[in-house]
Amino acid sequence: MGSLNRRQEFDSVGIALNPATQALDAEQSSGDRAALLRWYYHLVRRWIWLIVLVTIAAGVTGYSVTTLFIKPTYVATATLQVDAGQLSSDVNGTGVIASQQLADTEARLVVTQPVAVKAYKALHLHLPLTPSTLLGGATASSDVNSQLVTLSVSSHDRVFAARAANALAYAAQQSEQQHQMSRFSAAIDAIDRQISSYQKDMASATKKQAQAGGAGNAQTQDLTREIDQDRTAINNLQTQLVTLQSTEAQTSANLDVRVPAQVPHFPSSPHPVRSAAIAAFLALLAATGLLFAREYFAGTLRNPEEFQALMSGAPVLGVVGDLNRETKRPGLSVTENRRSLGAEMYRMVRTNLLFSGADAANKVILMTSCGEGEGKTTTSMNVAMVMAEIGRKVLLIDADLRRPHIHQVAGIENRGGLTALLLGMDGGDIMTSTVQSEADPHLYFLPSGPIPPNPTALLSSQRMRDLLHAFKQSFDTIIVDSPPLLAVTDSAVLSTMADRVVLVADPRKATRHTLLRAKDVLERVGSRVSGVVLNRVGEESSGYYGYYYYGGYSAYVTDGQKVSSGSRNGKRAAK
């Protein structure tokens, strides 16, 4: 919504967005991604010690807890084989499937209550242990495409684990044998009784036949017929018995213990090394995630590299301390003491500006910030003064037509000024509106003048462009102090007329969100940040002062009197 309103405001003053902006959207997105990756890199590099410390601590803690507080568990394993008789010899393959199904069934039957009761008795266990307790640590499974059943028992006692596994295995084998024996025993016993009965009848008839004597009488013939019937019945029963026994042999399944369980030498759990690795990995993820979340929600940037990365590689021109601590009048560090630490900081900004393109083709330097109170006017004033002290003819323009401050800092009257020039009230000579500094003849000021009702319209006019072009003919450097970028559109408008845009940022106020918004505002009108000045950085912000050799150097630049920062003895070299 803010972008739409800003676009409408640009249109209302006759300034069109750069036509090339849409064509460069893909390139800008790629640059933003690269800037984000650089920010990730600097963030991780800054906190790598904490990430490593947390990761190591979590790994050591995981290993210690696993070793000291978790009892080791041992697993003993016995292997049983299911003999499916002649089912597995089926040439059609159905026997193999039936055999596998039978193995699955046997695996389930191994860990049942009846088997556990037999094992419980075999082990001579007693309360508080119960058969259910024995089953609680037992598992059984069948191997795929085989007739093997694996029985495992876990326990904190490695010897008991092996004894329990073997007891359950042999109890399952015994139960299976008893079950197979009971399947056909009743039928076989019934046939055996019938055969015995017929044998007794045939023996009695044979005895009677011998006593009767003579083969021709009727009694002997009846006895002979009875004996033949009994013999036939016995033969039929014996045939049935053989068939039943054969069927029993073909369909019965035997469960044999093939590999008894051995006492395990090493615990199956816990795994201290694996636990330590998992704990370290989770701590790594948590620490990294929390750091990113903290940085994201905090929004502040911790060192110059992060500002440079966020601004798509725009250089950090200088890091300026909190000058209110060392000056009587805020902002006049250069005029009060030309050898002060603050003055040297601004000379660093000047040097970087001159060596990064502030030549004849880059005379107009726009000073702006994301929001109010970040020190852009102070920076504009001091940079103008250090530029003038090397003999450059400098003009400082107060283009903040809403809340002007240059006249207050410079101690001049706010008459005429930029507003009068834009309204054509200069009388034909624009130089008459400028004020020469009493402290340095090379420095000139152009105050804002009266606050107009339509600042954006005046600043976006062709008259403003003509004025800057005219001033270029008379001055070596023109510094334009403008309003904050995110407050009004004046600075975005002026950026299209400036040769370079310098963003002044107070690390305590400028957040990642506001910086990206300011960068987007400039890119939408075809401009970009040429450099960043970090302002009002306290001594406690070592991430900034180490960047420009703050420690120790202050003792050299303060009239021979050491200040508190001198205790660092200059151990940090400038990057």
Averaged pLDDT, 237-264 = 80
Give the chain's largest Cα–Cα span.
174
pLDDT, position 325: 54
More confident position, 86 or 149: 149
Distance CA 439, CA 449 (A): 22
pLDDT of residue 387: 93
User: Between 25-69 and 272-298, two packed helices, what is the crossing angle to 10 degrees?
Assistant: 140
Whole-number Å distance between alpha carbons of 366 and 353? 12
Mean pLDDT of the region 491-503: 94
pLDDT digits (tens, 9 = 90+) for 188-206: 888 888 888 888 888 888 8
Mean pLDDT, to the nearest integer, of 210-235? 77
* Spans of all domains in the chain: 1-70+270-298, 74-259, 307-537
CATH code of the domain occupying 307-537: 3.40.50.300
> Given this model, what pLDDT does residue 240 score?
84
Q: pTM score, two decimals?
A: 0.52
**Each residue's pLDDT tens digit, 408-428:** 888 888 888 899 999 887 666
pLDDT in tens, 385-404: 999 999 999 999 999 999 99
pLDDT at 20: 45
- Which phi and psi (to 5°) does residue 383 adopt? -65, -40
Looking from the CA of 405 toward its CB, the CA atoms found within 13 Å total 16
- 327 or 146: whose pLDDT is higher? 146
Q: Are 262 and 162 in contact (CB under 8 A)?
A: yes
Residue at token pair 């910086």? 515
Interval 45-57 mean pLDDT: 91
Mean per-residue pLDDT for 33-37?
Answer: 68
* pLDDT at residue 571, as a whole number: 34
Mean pLDDT of 534-546: 62
Alpha-carbon distances, residue 335 vs 199, 279, 383, 390, 565 (angstroms): 140, 59, 11, 14, 22
